[in-house]
Amino acid sequence: MESSTRHENSLVIQMLQQVGFLRLSSVELLVGLKKSAIYKRCAEGTFPKPIKLSPRLNVWKAADVLAWIEKQSQLSR
């Protein structure tokens, strides 16, 4: 069963890397943090900074968010 879960996770990661950009709602779901915590960590330099696509739209590079998740996973081991 664990092998199946790892395979599913790797497929999700591959799909996210192809997406390119993630909106805030997707970032919240992926990292388990709310908007205020994400922006606080961005300001502290402990989370990837968003890219402003328009005056009202910030996005994150999917690869940057996935790398942050991986780093957090490594730190917790």
- State the CATH number of the domain containing residue 44: 1.10.1660
The number of domains in the chain is 1
The pLDDT > 90 percentage for the chain reads: 64
Model's pTM, two decimal places?
0.77
C-alpha torsion sign, points 59, 60, 63, 69:
negative
Mean pLDDT of 37-48: 98
The parent domain of residue 55 ranges over 2-75
d(CA 4, CA 68): 23
Residue 40 has pLDDT above 50, yes or no: yes
